[in-house]
């Protein structure tokens, strides 16, 4: 049965209420609270029963047939929600807004929040990673992007030009879990985000008009950015529904403030996760993360993805690392104190939103207790970071919240003795009455002579006197016992005195629970006033934690301080790949990476498995680490500040979008060529191998020439096309290097050492033998290779201008006639038809 097929006039009052709620949340699965369960109905029930593996049943709702239904216990709903969210669904939690005891008829219910991938604020999200929700606002000629982590309050925004590919690269770079788009967006973009990248996308045109949140964007002058931010805020606030004033003032992203690279570079270099397993282990983040707080780990990941370009700020971090490494005793003290600091950013979010418990406030108290010592250590280290220790807030939490308080707020046992006199009096009554019960049990045994008489309690009957079946004949009328319940082995009685005490005890306990809850809410309101200060402290702690992590890894792995220069010189002596060095069993072979002012391109040759890709990767990783403000895996390092990094490493087909290896190669090469500047770093690993040999060689040379003549970026280009090494004669800023190997008695040994000059021989058959291919196959390949080498006519074919040498008269003839014709025209003054006719005539001339 579908919801759309139902005659609503026949529905029961409760089901009518459900239908009205569902009408407002068509794209969400409704968890509808009924007593101790969250129930789902109609299509929601069918979907949820499959995804969550629940029994699909039915419910009478006033119709001729039962409506589809499934449900989960309210106390265990979180795991079920997690599963639905991970599968890409939205879940709307519809709660009872009234106490059933106080209401006649249907209890009022409504949605209190919608939970989605990007709006989670609970403990289920990864503590070491941000949980971003983003939006795209289409302005036709450009795009506005803003993104926020609701759990921490961070808000960012930027503008990019109206290029669809650039937009996709920007969105995928940040690993957003959910994206909101306005209704004028190109639907192809929506489909790519949903299908190719599995991002939850919602289309809405609404913008927030609530002035209570205007502080987030009020200082931004660009109205496009303001509209973008308000578009995202509308969705967030409409979804979460609670107080979100922990959201911070928006940070405007300026691309030139950071070293730029796209998702391909991030993946190729395995900065935050490995290519093979998509796991953190064995990534650069894994190696560098010795942080003691979750905030520090998140800040470190952000820094890896957004290295700096400000030399002054970078050197400031170097200075702090040096100081920490020198003052290692103070550093150890700092580490000890940081270990006591909990996730202040996310605690601040829960304090404001209201979903915190006593454990959260205890974590806040523990964190605040460590701040005075952290402040003192930072002063001794002469760091320019000032921490507010919030002593008055610590004192409040110290005297109010019990150390063993439960997770729930409606069970009592939250507030310490001495904080509230009314609460102390109620607790005294409650504990005194309980003592009375114990005394009563003893006195009743003595008064009646019934030795096994017990005084007990249950929620149905309250307090009672229990006498076993064997001794019930000892109960006399003058005792004043009134039979209340007969059990198989005993009889239960009540007395007027017992009922009087019961009323006192239960009344006091209910008052205690209600009063403690009220006091806890009052304390939370006081703590809310400190949220902005807590967030400022969290930012300082995050950076300090990251820098102490840099100091530790620098000492552990013998990293060195880079020397940042204005000249375009790269001089990395004994450079290593930091992760490979720690993971590999054999001794790592370091290499120099040298590119002086006159060298822009290193053309790298050598056999497979010799270490060409690792050599290129370690250069890029060293640059990224240096611009993060971290020491680097070299004996010494001199380098300039880079603005962008582009990589093409690996040869995986983009099967999802149906693009071949070669097409992916060419797209990434085009992206680098069109976006790179002289201050960029380009890494191309065997570019052109995805097509036929001569095609690949031609393209490789043309790309090298273009980079050399037009872009002038520092470039590392590895290749198996050994014919390209002759380019060193024609391209003055290109230098050949090779990864050496020794061939002895038909066996190949990799030295992993990079040396000047080129190799003119391929070792493919030798590498195949290392892979244990059959000897007969290897021998046959050798025979075939000898035939090819004898028959091959090796010409000096590669020059800067052409793949094929021309004599002077041919060159003259080719350039003069056609070039002179083209020089005569002005395309801007031609109509489309004139241009097409001219192109046709030009083609005829070329054919002649």
Instruction: Please list the residues that pair with 145 across neighbouring strands.
Output: 136, 158
Share of the chain above pLDDT 90, in %: 61
pLDDT at 229: 97
- Least confident range from 182-191, 203-212, 546-555, 685-694: namely 685-694
Burial of 586 (0-12, 13-18, 19+ CB in 10 A): exposed
Nearest-angstrom CA–CA distance, 150 and 67:
37
Answer yes or no: is pLDDT of 808 > 50. no
Q: Which token pair is 408?
A: 């729930």
Kindly indicate the confidence band of residue 740, based on its pLDDT and cuts at 50, 70 and 90. Answer: confident
Instruction: Please list the residues that pair with 644 across neighbouring strands.
Output: 260
Task: Tell me which DSSP letter residue 143 carries.
Answer: E
pLDDT at 418: 94
- Least confident range from 199-203, 509-513, 527-531: namely 509-513
Q: Which token pair is 377?
A: 């250590």
Nearest-angstrom CA–CA distance, 96 and 35:
8
Burial of 614 (0-12, 13-18, 19+ CB in 10 A): buried
Nearest-angstrom CA–CA distance, 552 and 331:
9
Comparing 830 with 767, the larger pLDDT belongs to: 830
Chain segment 233-257, per-residue pLDDT in tens:
999 999 999 899 999 999 999 888 9
Kindly indicate the confidence band of residue 793, based on its pLDDT and cuts at 50, 70 and 90. Answer: very low
Cβ atoms 131, 225 nearer than 8 A: no
Cβ atoms 620, 269 nearer than 8 A: yes
Comparing 666 with 353, the larger pLDDT belongs to: 353
Cβ atoms 762, 743 nearer than 8 A: no
pLDDT at 521: 94
Kindly indicate the confidence band of residue 735, based on its pLDDT and cuts at 50, 70 and 90. Answer: very high
Q: What is the mean pLDDT of residues 182-197?
A: 93
Chain segment 578-617, per-residue pLDDT in tens:
999 999 877 888 999 999 999 999 999 887 666 888 999 9
Q: In 745-821, which ranges are E strands?
A: 747-756
Q: What average pLDDT does the chain have?
A: 87
Task: Report helix, strand and coil shares of the chain as percent, to nearest 5.
Answer: 50, 20, 35
Kindly indicate the confidence band of residue 407, based on its pLDDT and cuts at 50, 70 and 90. Answer: confident
Comparing 773 with 473, the larger pLDDT belongs to: 473
Chain segment 521-547, per-residue pLDDT in tens:
999 999 999 999 999 999 999 999 999
Give the residue carrying structure tokens 């045109």.
205
Q: Which token pair is 519?
A: 């006091």
Q: Is residue 28 classed as helix, strand or coil in its secondary structure?
A: strand
Instruction: Please list the residues that pair with 96 across neighbouring strands.
Output: 109
DSSP string, 590-614: -EEEEE-TT--EEEEE--TTSSHHH
Q: What is the mean pLDDT of residues 542-555?
A: 97
Answer yes or no: is pLDDT of 650 > 90. no
Instruction: Please list the residues that pair with 464 across neighbouring strands.
Output: 456
Q: What is the mean pLDDT of residues 93-120?
A: 90
Answer yes or no: is pLDDT of 297 > 50. yes
Q: Is residue 393 classed as helix, strand or coil in its secondary structure?
A: helix
pLDDT at 742: 65
Answer yes or no: is pLDDT of 794 > 60. no
Phi, psi angle pair for 154, to nearest 5°: -70, 135
Q: What is the mean pLDDT of residues 811-829?
A: 64
Nearest-angstrom CA–CA distance, 175 and 134:
10
Answer yes or no: is pLDDT of 792 > 70. no
* Neighbour tally for 219: CB within 10 Å: 9
Task: Tell me which DSSP letter residue 60 carries.
Answer: -
């Amino acid at each position: 049965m579908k919801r759309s097929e139902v005659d609503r006039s026949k529905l029961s009052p409760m089901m009518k209420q459900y239908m009205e709620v569902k009408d407002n949340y068509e794209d969400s699965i409704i968890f509808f609270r009924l007593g101790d369960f969250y129930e789902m109905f109609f299509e929601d029930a069918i979907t949820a029963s499959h995804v969550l593996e629940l029994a699909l049943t039915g419910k009478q709702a006033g119709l001729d047939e039962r409506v589809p239904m499934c449900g989960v216990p309210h106390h265990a709903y979180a795991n079920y929600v997690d599963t639905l969210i991970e599968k890409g669904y939205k879940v709307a939690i519809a709660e009872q807004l009234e106490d059933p005891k106080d209401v006649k008829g249907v209890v009022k219910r409504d949605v209190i929040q919608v939970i989605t991938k990007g709006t989670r604020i609970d403990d289920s999200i990864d503590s070491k990673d941000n949980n971003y929700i983003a939006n795209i606002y289409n302005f036709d000629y450009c795009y506005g992007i803003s993104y926020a982590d609701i759990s921490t309050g961070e808000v960012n925004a930027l503008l990019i030009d109206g290029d669809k590919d650039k937009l996709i690269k920007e969105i995928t770079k940040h690993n957003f879990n959910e994206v909101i788009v306005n209704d004028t967006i190109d639907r192809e973009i929506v489909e790519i985000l949903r299908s190719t990248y599995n991002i939850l996308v919602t289309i809405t045109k609404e913008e927030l008009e609530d002035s209570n949140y205007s502080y987030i964007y009020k200082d931004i002058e660009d109205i496009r950015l303001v509209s973008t931010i308000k578009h995202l805020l509308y969705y967030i606030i409409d979804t979460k529904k609670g107080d979100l004033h922990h959201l911070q003032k928006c940070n405007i992203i300026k691309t030139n403030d950071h070293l730029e690279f796209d998702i391909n570079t991030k993946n190729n270099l395995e900065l935050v996760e490995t290519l093979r397993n998509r796991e953190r282990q064995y990534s650069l983040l894994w190696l560098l993360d010795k942080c003691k707080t979750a905030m520090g780990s998140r800040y470190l990941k952000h820094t890896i993805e957004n290295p700096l370009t400000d030399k002054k700020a970078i050197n400031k971090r170097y200075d702090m690392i040096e100081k920490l490494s020198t003052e290692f005793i103070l550093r150890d003290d700092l580490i000890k104190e940081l270990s006591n600091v909990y996730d202040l950013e996310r605690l601040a979010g829960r304090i404001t939103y209201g979903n915190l418990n006593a454990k959260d406030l205890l974590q806040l108290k523990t964190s605040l207790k460590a701040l005075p010592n952290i402040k003192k250590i930072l002063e001794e280290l002469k760091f320019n970071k000032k921490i507010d220790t919030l002593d008055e807030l610590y004192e409040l939490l110290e005297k109010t919240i019990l150390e063993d308080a439960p997770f729930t707020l409606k069970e009592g046992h939250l507030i310490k003795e001495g904080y509230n006199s009314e609460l102390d009096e109620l607790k005294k009554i409650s504990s005194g009455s309980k003592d009375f019960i114990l005394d009563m049990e003893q006195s009743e045994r003595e008064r009646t002579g019934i030795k096994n008489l017990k005084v007990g309690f249950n929620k149905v009957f309250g307090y009672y006197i229990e006498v076993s079946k064997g001794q019930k004949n000892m109960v006399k009328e003058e005792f004043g016992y009134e039979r209340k319940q007969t059990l198989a082995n005993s009889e239960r009685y009540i007395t007027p005195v017992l009922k009087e005490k019961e009323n006192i005890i239960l009344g006091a306990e209910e008052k205690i629970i209600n009063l403690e809850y009220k006091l806890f809410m009052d304390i939370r309101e006081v703590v809310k006033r400190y949220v902005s200060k807590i967030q400022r402290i969290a930012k300082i702690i995050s950076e300090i934690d990251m820098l102490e992590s840099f100091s530790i890894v620098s000492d552990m792995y013998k990293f060195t301080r880079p020397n940042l220069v204005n000249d375009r010189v790269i001089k990395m002596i004994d450079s290593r790949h930091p992760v490979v060095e720690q993971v590999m069993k054999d001794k790592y072979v370091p290499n120099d990476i040298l590119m002086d002012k006159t060298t822009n391109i290193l053309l790298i040759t050598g056999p497979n498995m010799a270490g060409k890709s690792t050599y290129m990767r370690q250069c890029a990783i060293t640059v990224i680490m240096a611009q993060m403000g971290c020491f680097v895996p070299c004996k010494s390092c001199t380098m300039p500040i880079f603005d962008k990094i582009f990589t093409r490493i690996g040869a995986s087909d983009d099967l999802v979008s149906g693009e071949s290896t070669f097409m992916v190669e060419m797209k990434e090469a085009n992206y680098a060529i069109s976006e790179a500047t002289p201050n960029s770093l380009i890494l191309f690993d065997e570019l052109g191998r995805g097509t036929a040999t001569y095609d690949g060689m031609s393209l490789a040379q043309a790309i090298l020439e273009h980079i050399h003549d037009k872009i002038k970026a520092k470039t590392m280009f590895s290749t198996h096309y050994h014919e390209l090494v002759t380019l060193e004669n024609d391209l003055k800023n290109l230098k050949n290097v090779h990864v050496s190997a020794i061939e002895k008695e038909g066996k190949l040994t990799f030295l992993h050492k990079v040396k000047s000059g080129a190799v003119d021989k391929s070792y493919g058959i030798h590498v195949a033998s290392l892979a244990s291919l059959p000897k007969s196959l290897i021998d046959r390949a050798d025979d075939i290779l000898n035939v090819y080498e004898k028959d091959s006519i090796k010409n000096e074919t590669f020059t800067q201008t052409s793949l094929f040498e021309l004599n002077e008269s041919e060159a003259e003839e080719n350039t003069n006639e056609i070039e002179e014709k083209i020089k005569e025209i002005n395309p801007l003054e031609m109509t489309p038809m004139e241009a097409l006719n001219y192109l046709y005539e030009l083609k005829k001339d070329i054919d002649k």
